[in-house]
Structure 1
Amino acid sequence: MRISEKAKRYRWAEETLGTLSRELDLLLEQEMVIPAEPGGWWHQYVCPVHHTELEFDPYETDAVAFRCPHGCHLEGEPYRGAWLVFKHQSLARFALQAAAVYAGTGEQRYAELGKQIIVRYAEMFPKYPVHPDAQPWMLKGRAFHQALTEAIWSTTLLRAFLLLTDEDITFADVLPAVEQFLDLLEQSMVQYRHILIDVKDNPENNYTAWLNASLSCIYAIRGDKDKLAGLVEGKGGILHHLDIGVNRDGFEFEGSTYYHVFVLRAYLIAAEMAERAGLDLYEAAGAGGQTFRSMFDALAGLSNDHGILPALHDGPYRRTPYSREIAEVVEIGLSRYRNLSYVPLLGAAYEHLFGNRVRGGLEALLFGVDEWDLGQRYGPRESLLLPETGFAVLRHPESPLSVLADFGPHGGSHGHFDKLHISLSHTLGDLSPDFGMVPYGSALRKEWYAETASHNTVSVNGISQAPHRGECIRFETLERGAFLHLRSSGAYEGCVMDRRLLLTGSWLLDWFEVELEDAGTIDWHLYSAAGLIPGDRDGNKVQWVPVSSDDWHDRKMNPYIKPLLCLHGCSSGSQADFQLRQVSQEQTNGNVTMSLWLEGNSEVTTVTAPGPADDPSRETEGLIYRQLGTKARFIAIYTSGPERAVLGWKQGTDGIPVLHITLNGQTDEIAADHHTGLPEAITTIRRS
């Protein structure tokens, strides 16, 4: 559907067209300046003190000073080079925006603006050198340190070119400059593709998808159907990359939500260009059955009830460009596949961008169709297992709680040391999510956010897990509840970890067992999204003891963890209760109660640590439950609301220990194995 038709048919498109027009009018009031300098690496656009991304104004024509949201003033490199990345990208986006507004209004000044940006870059591109300052590991670009950034930037610029020519704007008067630009860009992308696929034998890399996308835009402009078809087949082609870069369960092979969206977006751009040549890739499949549709389904299945995606492995907790990318791919996915389970994803992206769940922005105008109720939740939502990627989500129709667990492959350069990590959610919002990743130029990338200590899992002797893959022993969903048993035997030498999760309509049970060959310090970590309040122990108020800095320095602990209060001398056979606040989308009140079963020779400490990766200086609260020895057992139970579950053990008639969970006058019994004390399956629950 043409943009002008959308503006007549849909109120949201008409309003969006007006907003985008006004944004361009601000740009038209100033002189158009295309930086003569190439961009650097955007990941270095980060404050070294607060580790937040620096502020960027797309209307600023030049910048030599840069500020973080907390007021730090920075100058020079690498910030200048990183700012240039944002500037070049913003100008390409303005070109596409101008083309879209012209398509909707027919006002010539917008066509002239889009064309001017494209032509200026076409003239400038040959003057950019193959970047001399790029880091050694990078495939070097011209306009940027990385060829990857160049490929992404070029697709935006070339989409603008195509949209303008679709609307009968001619580039005949500047054809030599445009042709030279396309020639150089094609040579670069072909060379980078050869290096990556043939020389480095790394065709599954996410770079490949974007090199294919850039080349597909070039070939679509030139009407070269043969070369477009050549990008589909063969080693490193779109079908081959779909087969090796996406797991059979539909998720990107690195296990990163961000890079999953990143690769899917590149695929969709290539499919858009292939369609111009009469090739339909929207139902293309890899050898293992991977499709674009299955990639969308995986995203919808992993998101929380509000459509917010978990920040699994490398990827921002929240970031404006990322939300735009999500909006783009989901608008396209909804237009192609009409799956209503994708709608909350779109609503969440627009809520981050605009503060409420309304359609708007360039992505909506370009790719959106129809009317969708972005505040609607579509259900029922079922439990999910992605066995190859190693993610599982437990849901129950009678429970507001859900839990996502990570047990799969490490994830390579974008992986975290986080096996058996869990993220807890409530229908009102997240309780204990993965906090994402800061820009790679921040020291916190490796010192905190990728480390085991920053995740809701177990660490041993204060060090991070080794890169490894866990395994799913059992995944079961029945009417009574959903059960997951995960195991890790590669995190530490001589260590086996088992995590069992059981979700019923009344509660969520988290049972974590660790066994070591040699005695050590075993720490169970949990971080709250919005706050953690220590409560009662055995129903009585207890005195939590402040932890001195001297005592804390004697421990083996990540230096970014700061202690608050400690519950010493935990006696076996008692419990401690906590309130977990929610990151609520609908209300500010309403907590979840967590009860810990306390073992002997253990210690519980409340702590603070760097918060979500969009602003690490906004500290989060958490707790560390420490046990010593060769064996450790951590049992936690979560209930929605203020009522706590009371835990206890009894001896069954057959001699097998039975865990009793009493809540609101009802008791559930979970039989456990006589030797290990571990719950065997959800079918052993009995209610009295």
Structure 2
Amino acid sequence: MKRLRLLPLDLDARRLVTAEGSSLAPTLSGLARELEPLMQRELPIPRRKARLTRVGGRCPVHGGLLEFDPWVPLAHYCERCAHAYTGVEHHDWWAMGAQLYTAERAVHAATLYALRGDLRHAELAVRILAEFADRYEEWPNRDNVLGPTRPFFSTYLESIWLLNLCHALDLLDVSLAPGADRVGAQLRDRVIAPSASLIASYHEGTSNRQVWNEVAVLSAFRVLDDQRAFQRRLDADQGLLTLVERGLLADGTWYEGENYHLFAHRGLWYGMQLLTAAGLSLPPSLGDRYAAGFITPFLGLLPDETLPSRRDSQYAVSIRQWRFAEWCELGFAHRADSRLAGLLSRLYDGSIARHSSARARSTADAERNEAPSSLSRADLSWRSVLMASAQPVDAGRWAPASTVLPSQGLAVLRREQGSVYVALEGGHSGSGHGHPDRLGVSLQTGDERWLQDPGTGSYVERTLHWYRSTLAHHAPLVNGASQPTAAATLLAFEERGGMGWMRKRAMIGHDIHATRTVVVCEGYCIDVLDWEPDASANAATDDITITLSLCGDASAVTPDGFAPATRPGAGRLEDGFDFLQQVESVEVDGTAMIDAVAINARGVPSQRARARLVLAANVPATLIKARVPGAPGCRETMRHVLELQGAAGRLVSVWYWQPSDALPAVERVVLNAMDVDAPLARVTSADGTTAVHGPAPHGWHIELLARHARSSVDLEGLIDMPTATADAEPDPAASRAAARALPLREVLAESDYLRTEQDWRESGSPTATVAVEADGPRVVVDVVAYTGVVVPPDGADNPLDNERAQVNADGVQWYWGASNGGWAQAALCTPSDDMVLMTRLLPGSWPLPEATWMALPDDGGWRARFEWRLADLPVAPDGTITFGLVVNERPPERVRRRGQLVLNGNRADPPSAAAYAYLRGDRQSPSHALRLRLRPERGPQLSGP
């Protein structure tokens, strides 16, 4: 018998270990029952292309995902409000799940035939593959959100879909299923080859999505028996091996966070099986990182058995789901890790109620979060049937201890048998899926969440900007602006059982660095935030405001006397202040106390838990409360925030909670933020013990006073060298190229075009001419775009995503900025009859230019003129200014923008190496701006009397 090309598996041997009486036999029987509906009915393959919209697939009341049922395409149920919603947007979202569900049933059925030989399963798999082969060309490759694709709206989804089809065909081929030769020829020609070519045309760098793109393309080449193409792709500079090396950090975690670790590592699992089947393997060091990746997501497990919602993670995901059990099974089969064995014992312990596992509605590897359930091996999928250990794992229950993952940025101290969880954030930035939450703190006691990371809800909702703001996290920010993208450095970590501490440092704003120290003891923790400007900075004390989110709602606050207030922040949507409602404030004089209210993972306030926050600062402070969005799927909540005035300062705070019955409660806290030579905090417990805390040369010193006895604890663990390297984004300052003299005339054509699905020629070869000249006290910009029929915006609201509606129309985006920084003025302009609709892209009341707009004859495109007063532009002292301009083009038959012509100040370095316009919205980097000279450089100025 031939061997499988995609899995390192001997099917004859596998048939023996999955035979009747084995621990995996119930899994096979359950999988067989789930295929029965497909035997009797028309396949749930949608006629329409899947589409992403703000509405589709989400409950309009709660915002949570609607239930997916492959057999109900027109009514979509919300479990929370017990209502079924209808509409084309919901159907188009259902189409994504239906495509993936049906593709997975093909490999599911092929697995059952390969192991049990039931002809009905072979016939079903062949029927699914044949229908996909007949239908693939019907779905149009257009109006996509993230990369070219036919059935979906993003390339990575087609990669998952194609990967399942490749595995199904491989299993049918090797098991000599009737009809496999015929359907294989059709599928290779009509789906696998063209789909692989489409996916290969789009590269997403080191994104988690690119893992799936790579594995799908490599698998396709194997199934196409194209060894040369397989090896060439594998050896490519940004191929699979590069993704493992650069994507997995030294601690074995995927750099974009736990949520994307789970997703990317599942893709890597397919890749590792593929390499092994091809007789290849990873270098040992990378192999160790990959193996560690099976357990690392669970090291930060919260006390309520959910994963932390760090970065762009879903909120409150329980590990008691079949997909996590399967992940532990596959990890243990790869390398026998006792922690994975202990997790499986925990998941299979039957300690919670049994519910539907939802495996029967699985949508391949684009899996959905489901309610926790009791589990067994019978809940596993085709992957475990083929690859899990033959015998069930037998081990004692495992729970994570205090831990630190310096590269990933997670540092956790646990108390009271793991029921108390305190974490300090900061490591790798997480890049595009990271959040600006360096030095954020999380605190949870049992099911009660006092300080939590909300993760991210829908990527197409406006609230995405809240969840991705510093203000939404319990982390410091400067002058109302979310933190810049940067890594944090671990400075100390030591765990002593009853006492431990951790310290991190990060840049939280321009020229401002902060250090946060968290000391965790039994029943309380001490939190010290220090900040100061760089030694070279000239920041005045009155010019700096540090903002720190303290906690959620409260039952009592001292001081009281809140009065209505406004807090605009720095003015950008991503700073989070636009989401504050019913804002009130009160000045803090001395010590403040907040009796906080905890919530559970569903956002329901706790009626029994008690915790108090006591704080004091050595700079003027203002306490603010406001209503803000709750965690995804939860109702709005009250948030308490502290503002601190000063370029340098210190905030000392203590959280204490009702501990377990075996521990004495805290009765009194005395803080010192003013005297640098005195201890910072004195904490007295009900048994009369007083702990006096303060920094020391070796780390942290705790003096313990109990009646007439005196002792001390010295926490060390200082780290001399940074364990996380800085990974700040490239300097966004404008190009330092020589300034261009006016008048200027540039023709934008093929080399300036950022595409979506179609390249420049396929898009009709659009061009634009841009002319800039200074006319006395005015600056004039003329744009003539030869882009065809002018398409105005489809109304003021964008139903597709959280970008402005004008992005998906013909129009122009212009940007002005000083040569030593980012943009100062920017607007998005689109036609409205014979007028120009202009929307400011940056905060401020700076003047908009005079503008005119006119369509060209014969639907050839449009022309526009913009006139500024020179005095209104942010011209640098040397007489130069940076300028950026983008022309958007959309034909009438599309609902999304097709491409962009981008004015580029550095022709030798294109604005995007991939030359794609996906996800750019109305954003344009200053790094490729033109530098223009508008007036002579100022000479030395004489000072007046």
In the alignment, which residue of structure 1 is the partner of 2:392? Answer: 371
- CA pair 334-384 structure 1, distance change in 2 beyond 3 A: same
From 2, 10, 18, the counterpart of 2:14: 2
Kindly indicate whether the alpha-carbon contact (under 8 Å) linking 1:95 and 1:118 is maintained by their aligned counterparts in 2: yes
Aligned-partner Cα distance in 1 for 2:673–2:64 = 56
The equivalences for 1:49-448 within 5 A come to: 49-50=60-61, 52-60=63-71, 62-63=73-74, 70=81, 73=85, 75-77=87-89, 79-103=90-114, 106-129=117-140, 131-135=141-145, 138-170=146-178, 171-180=180-189, 181-192=191-202, 196=203, 203-222=205-224, 228-254=230-256, 256-281=257-282, 285-286=285-286, 291-305=289-303, 308-317=306-315, 326-342=324-340, 353=370, 355-359=372-376, 360-362=379-381, 365=385, 367-369=387-389, 370-372=391-393, 377-379=397-399, 381-386=401-406, 388-395=407-414, 400-426=419-445, 431-446=450-465, 448=466
**Partner Cα distance (1:432, 1:526) in 2:** 8
The alpha-carbon distance between structure 1 residues 245 and 504, as it changes in their structure 2 partners (threshold 3 A), is: same
The answer for the alignment partner of 2:524 in structure 1 is 507
AA aligned opposite 1:524: L
Counterpart CA distance in 2 for 1:650 and 1:173 is: 80
> How many residues of Structure 1 are paired with residues of Structure 2 in the alignment?
647
CA deviation vs aligned residue, 1:474-530 (integer Å, no higher than 9, x gap): 2333466322111223x22343322101123443222223447443543321456xx
Residues 358 and 456 of structure 1: CA distance in aligned 2, closer, same or farther (over 3 Å): same
User: How far off is 1:312 after superposition?
Assistant: 1.5
Q: Please give the alpha-carbon distance, in whole angstroms, between the structure 2 residues aligned to 1:177 and 1:307.
A: 46
Describe the superposition over 1:270-321 as per-residue Cα deviations: whole angstroms up to 9, x where unpaired: 122233233345x7544xx862112224323233356532221112225799
**In structure 2, distance between residues paired with 1:64 and 1:356:** 25
CA distance in 1, matches of 2:338, 2:183: 45
| SS across alignment from 1:638 | strand
The CA RMSD over aligned residues, in Å, is 4.1
CA contact (8 A) 2:58 2:66 kept: no
Residue in 1 that maps onto 2:629: 610
In structure 2, the CA distance between the partners of 1:285 and 1:306, relative to structure 1 (3 Å rule), is farther
Deviations 1:125-164 (A, max 9, x none): 24434x12124xx321222232221111111222233334
From the superposition, tell whether residues 57 and 259 of structure 1 become closer, same or farther in structure 2 (CA, over 3 Å).
closer
Letter aligned with residue 149 of structure 1: L
Change (3 A) 1:345 1:515: farther
Query: d(CA) in 1 for partners of 2:442 and 2:685?
Result: 23
Structure 2 partner of 1:638:
656
- CA distance in structure 1 between the aligned counterparts of 2:601 and 2:73, rounded to whole angstroms: 38
With normalisation by structure 2, the TM-score equals 0.61
* Contact 2:611 2:658 (8 Å CA) reproduced: yes
In structure 1, what residue type is equivalent to 2:546? Answer: I
- 8 Å contact from structure 1 (residues 582, 591) kept in 2: no
AA at the equivalent of 2:182? D
Return 5+ residue gaps in structure 1 as ranges. Answer: 197-201, 674-678
Q: Residue type matched to 2:684 in 1?
A: T
Gap regions ≥5 residues in structure 2: 1-12, 349-356, 359-368, 534-538, 570-575, 707-945
Could you tell me how far apart the structure 1 residues matched to 2:550 and 2:226 are? 55
Q: Secondary structure in 2 aligned to 1:418?
A: coil
- 1:574 and 1:440 map into 2 onto residues whose CA distance is 37
Tell me the residue number matched to 1:676: none
Of 497-506 and 326-335, deviating more is 326-335
**Paired amino acid for 1:143:** P
C-alpha change, 1:621 and 1:28, in structure 2 (3 Å) is farther
Q: Does the Cα contact within 8 Å between 1:383 and 1:396 map onto a contact in 2?
A: no
Summarize the Cα distance change of 1:425–1:578 in structure 2 as closer, same or farther, 3 Å threshold: closer
The structure-2 alpha-carbon separation of the partners of 1:652 and 1:570, relative to structure 1 and needing over 3 Å to count, comes to closer
CA–CA separation in structure 1 for the residues paired with 2:339 and 2:450: 22
Residue 523 of structure 1 corresponds to which residue in structure 2?
547
| Post-superposition offset of 1:442 | 1.4
Q: What's the offset of the Cα at 1:471?
A: 2.2
- Tell me the residue number matched to 1:485: 503
In structure 2, C-alpha distance between the alignment counterparts of 1:96 and 1:319, rounded to whole Å: 27
Q: Helix, strand or coil for the counterpart of 1:436?
A: coil
SS at match of 1:302: coil
Alpha-carbon distance between aligned partners in 2 of 1:284 and 1:234, rounded to the nearest angstrom: 20
Does the 8 A contact of 2:44 with 2:102 survive in 1?
no
- 2:613 aligned partner: 595
Deviates more, 1:361-370 or 1:139-148: 361-370
Cα drift, residue 445 of structure 1: 1.1
Alignment of 1:474 onto 2:492: yes
What is the CA deviation profile of residues 614-659 of structure 1, one whole-angstrom value per residue up to 9, with x for unaligned ones?
Answer: x14x334543234444435141223453834521158999953352
Hey, what does 1:657 align to over in structure 2?
679
Residues 562 and 609, structure 1, Cα contact 8 Å, conserved in 2: yes
Q: Is the 8 A contact 2:565 2:583 kept in 1?
A: no
Corresponding residue number in structure 2 for 1:667? 690
Deviation at 1:397, TM superposition (A): 7.6
* Equivalent pair of 2:435/2:470 in contact (CA under 8 Å): yes
Cα deviation for residue 118 of structure 1 reads 1.6
Q: Distance in 2 between matches of 1:607 and 1:596?
A: 19
Question: CA contact under 8 A between 1:396 and 1:482: conserved in structure 2?
Answer: no
Check the 8 A contact 1:503/1:509 in 2, yes or no: yes
Specify whether residues 649 and 60 from structure 1 end up closer, same or farther in structure 2 by C-alpha distance, changes over 3 A only: closer
Structure 1 window deviating more from structure 2 (262-271 vs 92-101): it is: 92-101
Select which of 8, 27, 30 maps to 2:41: 30
Q: CA deviation at 1:560?
A: 3.1
Of 595-604 and 306-315, more deviation after overlay is shown by 595-604
The SS at the match of 1:8 is coil
Q: State how far apart, in whole Å, the 2-side matches of 1:161 and 1:299 are.
A: 32
Structure-2 change in CA distance of 1:564 and 1:341 (3 Å):
farther
What letter is aligned with 2:201?
A: Q
SS class of match (2:509) = coil
Taking a change above 3 Å as real, the CA distance of residues 623 and 7 of structure 1, as seen in their structure-2 partners, is: farther
The SS at the match of 1:453 is: coil
Match of 2:512 in 1: 495
Judging changes above 3 Å, is the alpha-carbon distance between structure 1 residues 627 and 191 closer, same or farther for their aligned structure 2 residues? closer
